[in-house]
Structure formats: structure tokens, C-alpha cells
Amino acid sequence: MASAHARIPRHSSARAMLRATGLFGLAFVIFAAVLLAAGKDPIRAYRDILSSTLVDRYGFSEVLVKMIPLMLTALAVAIPSRIWLINIGGEGQLYMGALFATWAATYFAALPAWELLPLVAALGFLGGGLWAAISGVMRAYGWVSETISTLLLNYVAILIVSFFVFGPWKDPESANYPQTAEFVAAARLPTFFGTRVHLGLLIALVAFIVYHVVLTRTRWGLEIRAMGGNMEAARRSGIAIGRYVLVLMFIGGGLAGLAGVGEVSAIQGRLRPSLSPGYGYTGFLISWIAGGNPYGIVASALLMAVITAGGDVLQMAHRLPGSVVNILMALMLFVVLARRRVP
């Protein structure tokens, strides 16, 4: 699996958005047919999804909650992809971030919030970052392609989390539930407006701005774009490619780790083995659809979050299995994947 094979397409955002809208429309039509075949009223289903996600205040807050890990894990893919690295390890990096964050929250529980929270977040970043950096090292030395190693390390990370949650870190008070003790209040990320929307949203948006600014304004961004545009020229211009492989994998993994921080510290308040319903993989697909474009990632993450939230609606109001929305998500991906390439 060579590095150059997953060329993530990049095109001008306005035209891309227009094309994407048309393609997604097609996916919605096909999914409507699927719903019809299942004996459901597609128009009512779509209306219900819309009214309970984008229109409803609480519903929209839940969409935002889901967007946070999706945006972060998508960035975790998009950043290394700038120099042709394929990180499918967002899921594992998210788990490692959560693990490190839980450790910090437990062992420094006595610290005041203004010290503890940054520590929790920093360790979460470090956990995800180091996990990805393992793959980065193996790639920089040309031992194992990062595609394979990030994939394999996903399972290892999830199992390590299970080990701690079922074993040494298991909360003795929660009987048979495999979970750690609840975080102290000082280790909980603040939430806003009485919803579950938490500080992670702000962190994710800041990450996007930093990503954009670093890429377009700084010396490092220039070098990254040079590597993305012509690796051979970059090498001959004296850019230290191995170092960038490491650093970009670390940063990407760190952002996925922050997604894990959000889940444990704000949403669940403790570490559980089933931390993520595949955010890492969805993040990969989001980054892929958006072609690494920051606005595209936010828009696609919003779309995917609405669809995920829509699953709950279909389940409750239409008595369909919740994962049926995966069909809609996959259809959207199919139409994007199968589209005719713009030369």
C-alpha cells in the first residue's frame, strides 16, 4: 500500500460544494426509495429528521455534540493527508486520547479546574499523538506503511482501553458495569446553555482556524504545501520530510485524542469501553469527501452529524433500526466516490 494511492482530491470549494449538493441529492432520492420499499413514508421521515435536528433547539445542540468528534477525527486525517500520509487510525487515537485524559483526571484529581482541565486536554492530545507517532516513525524509516499500521493499532488501542476499564481502573462502586469512576467536577469540560455542547466545539473550531492559518501563512505551511505539490522538489529543496511525517502524524493523532477527551470528559464523565461508535472511520470518510478542505470538512461533518442524529428519529418515530441511516451515509459516499473526475 503505497503512500500516493489515496490521492485526496482538492478543488475549489464553491464548485465542489455545488457538485456535492447535486450528488447528495441523488443519494437522498435513492434512500427515499429504500424507505418506500421498507413500507415507510420517506417525505415524512425526512421532515421528521429535519424538524428534530436542524430546527429543534435541543436537537440541533445534539447535532453539534456529534459534530465535535467528527470534525476532530476528520482533521486528524486531513492534516497528514497534506503530505500523502493516510491515517485510518483516528479511532485508535481517539481511544488513546481518552485513556491518557482519564489517567490525568484520576491521578491529579486534587488539582483545581484551571490546572486540571488543561492537563487533561494536554495529556489527551499527547496520548493520541504518540499513538499516531508510532506509525509515523515506522513510516519515516520506511519500515511499515502508515496505512496498515494505523489500522492495526486501532484494535490495540481499543483493547488497551478495555483492559484498563475492565481491570485496574474499574470503578468498584458500579457493580458489573465496566467503567471507571466518574471524573471529579474539576476534570469535566464545561458545557454551554444547559445542553451537552461542550468546550470541545470551540477547540475544534480553533483547530480549524489554526490549520488554515498555518497552512496558508507560515513557513511550515509553505513547506507542507511544497511536499504535497511535489515531493521530489521538496526533497531537493532541503525540506526534512521525515521530520514532517512524524510531526504531522503526531498532530493529527493529537486532534483525534482531543475528540476522545471530549467524549470522556464532557459527554460520559468517565471512561467506558464503547467510547465511540466509529467516529474515527466516519472522520476518515468526511475528510475524504471534503478533500481536506476545512470548510468542506465542517459542512460534511454537519451533514454526517445530522444523519447520525436522524437515526435516532427513524428508530423512535418510524420504528426502523437506528443503523438504517448508515445506508443514507453510505449512499452519499458512493455517489461521491463514483463521480466522474474533473480533469
Partner 1 sequence: MSVPFVESVLLGAILSGMPVLYAALGEVIVERAGVVNLGLEGVMLMGAVTSFASTVRTGSAALGVLAGATAGGLFNLILALLVVTRQANQLASGLALMFFGAGVSALLGAPYIGSRIAGLNPLQIPGLAHLPYLGPLFRSDILAYLAIPAAALVWWGLFRTRWGLSLRAVGENPAAAYAAGYSPPAIQYQALFLAGLFGGIAGADLSIGIVKTWAEWMTAGRGFIAVALVIFSRWHPLRIVWGAVLFGGAVALQLQFQARGAPVSPFLLDTLPYLLSLGVLLVWAGGRRHAAPASLGRVFEGTK
Partner 2 sequence: MHNVEPLVALRGITKSFPGILANDRVDFDVYPGEIHALLGENGAGKSTLVKVLYGIHQADTGTIQFGDRAVQIRSPHDARRLGIGMVFQQFTLIPALSVVENVALFLPHLPAVLDHGVIARRIEEVSGRYGLAVDPWAPAWRLSVGEQQKVEILKLLLARSRVLILDEPTRVLVPHEIDGLFRVLAGLREHGYAVVFITHKLPEVLTCADRITVMRGGTVAGTLVRAEATERGLVGLMFGTAWPEEGSSRREPIRESARPLLELREVDTSGDGVSLRQITLTIAPGEIVGVAGVSGNGQRELGDVILGLTQTAGGKKIIHGQDATRWSVDRIRRSGVAFVPEDPLRMLIVPPLSVLENMALADTRKYARHVGLTVDWIAVRRDLEQSTRRLALEMLPPAVPAGTLSGGNVQRLSLVRELSIDPRLIVALYPTRGLDVRGATAARHLLLAMRNRGAGELLISEDLGELFSMSDRLIVLYRGRIVGEARPKDTTVYEIGRLMTGGVAGG
Binding stretches for partner 1 (CB under 8 A): 1-2, 5-8, 34, 38, 86, 88, 138, 142-144, 147-149, 151-156, 159-160, 162-163, 166-167, 281, 284-285, 288, 320-331, 333-334, 337-339, 341
Instruction: Give the span between the Cα atoms of 134 and 141, in whole angstroms.
Output: 11
> Is 237 a binder of partner 2 (CB under 8 A)?
yes
For 35: left if phi > 0, alpha if psi spans -120 to 50, otherwise beta; the answer is alpha
C-alpha cell at 165: 476499564
Question: Counting Cβ atoms within 10 Å, is residue 231 exposed (0-12), middle (13-18) or buried (19+)?
Answer: middle
Near partner 2 by CB under 8 A: residue from 225, 272, 318, 339: 225
Q: Is 316 in the site for partner 2 (CB under 8 A)?
A: no
Shortest distance in whole angstroms from residue 205 CB to partner 1? 25
Q: How far is the CB of 109 from partner 1 (least distance, A)?
A: 25
| Alpha carbons 251 and 126: distance in angstroms, whole number | 9
Enumerate residues 6+ apart whose C-beta is below 8 A from 66.
Answer: 304, 305, 308, 309
48 burial (CB, 10 Å; 0-12 / 13-18 / 19+) is middle
- In whole angstroms, how close is the CB of 214 to partner 2 at the nearest point? 9
Closest of 320, 302, 269, 268 to residue 71, by C-alpha: 302
Site for partner 2 (CB under 8 A): which residue of 209, 233, 316, 317? 233
Position 217 contacts partner 2 (CB under 8 A): yes
Residue 7 binds to partner 2 (criterion: CB under 8 A): no
Task: Classify 274 as helix, strand or coil.
Answer: coil
Shortest distance, position 226 Cβ to partner 2, whole Å: 5
Identify which of residues 97 and 280 has a Cβ nearer to partner 1 in the complex. Answer: 280
The residue written with cell numbers 483547530 in the block is 207
3-state secondary structure 19-31: HHHHHHHHHHHHH
Q: Which of 62, 91, 223, 263 binds partner 2 (CB under 8 A)?
A: 223
219 binds, among partner 1, partner 2, none (CB under 5 to 8 A by kind): partner 2
> What, of partner 2, partner 1, none, does residue 142 touch, CB below 5 to 8 Å by kind?
partner 1
47 vs 235, which CB is nearer to partner 2?
235
- Contact of 272 with 158, CB cutoff 8 Å: no
Q: Give which of partner 1, partner 2, none residue 263 binds (C-beta under 5 to 8 Å, depending on kind).
A: none
SS3 84: coil
| Residue nearer to partner 2 on the CB measure, 38 or 226 | 226
* Closest distance to partner 1 from the beta carbon of 31 (Å): 9
Q: By the criterion CB under 8 A, which residues form the site for partner 2? A: 217-220, 222-223, 225-226, 228-230, 232-240
